[in-house]
């Protein structure tokens, strides 16, 4: 089932980029992200409340300084990533920005290793090298 969720996420992220490319032509990146964040906040807060997870989750965060820092870190880097991809889309286009951004699994492996000592395997390293070769080709032929 995880593979269907991952493919679904990929499908919807792709569609998000295509819509956002058109939105950024008409309104600022920050207004767009702000509106989206507000709607996401309201919808997910309501879902969390009605599913019964809001109170225990807030209690978990309040009782764990480490979890609080992970939440703050996740929010911070999420916002920075959204802003960076938005600027990339407006500077070039959604297709090329997305093709280069798909290198993020390499950074997942790297940060998992650096922060949590997760194992990096030889196939991961080889795959990362292939992805960076692909990025070089995309950049070189689309300057």
Residues 115 and 138 reside in one and the same domain? yes
Domain extent at residue 135: 103-143
Q: Are residues 60 and 126 in the same domain?
A: no
Residue 38 placed within a domain:
yes
- Tell whether the model's pLDDT for residue 143 goes beyond 90: no
Question: What tokens does 66 get?
Answer: 């480490």
Is 11 contained in some domain?
Answer: yes
106 neighbors 132 (Cβ within 8 angstroms): yes
* Entry pTM: 0.86
State whether residue 92 is helix, strand or coil.
coil
Residues 6+ apart with CB under 8 A from 19: none
- Rounded to 5°, angle at Cα 30 from 35 and 79: 90
Tens of pLDDT, residue by residue over 80-114, are 999 999 999 999 999 999 989 988 988 998 999 99
Q: How many domains does the chain have?
A: 2
Which of 72-76, 131-135, 139-143 reaches the highest mean pLDDT? 72-76
With H, G, I as helix, E, B as strand and everything else as coil, classify residue 118.
coil
Q: Note whether 32 and 86 are within 8 A (CB).
A: yes
pLDDT band at 4 (very low <50, low <70, confident <90, very high): very high
The answer to whether residue 142 scores a pLDDT higher than 90 is: no
């Amino acid at each position: 089932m995880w593979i269907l969720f991952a493919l679904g996420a990929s499908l919807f992220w792709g569609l998000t980029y295509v819509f956002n490319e058109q939105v950024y032509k008409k309104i600022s990146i920050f207004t767009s992200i702000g509106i989206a964040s507000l709607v996401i906040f309201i919808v997910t807060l309501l879902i969390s409340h009605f599913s019964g997870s809001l109170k225990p989750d807030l209690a978990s965060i309040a009782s764990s300084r480490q979890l609080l820092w992970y939440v703050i870190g996740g929010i911070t880097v999420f916002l920075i990533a959204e802003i960076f991809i938005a600027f990339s889309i407006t500077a070039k286009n959604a297709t090329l920005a997305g093709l280069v951004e798909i290198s993020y699994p390499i950074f997942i492996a790297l940060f998992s290793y650096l922060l949590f000592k997760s194992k990096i395997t030889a196939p991961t390293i080889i795959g990362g090298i292939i992805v960076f070769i692909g990025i070089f080709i995309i950049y070189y032929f689309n300057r």
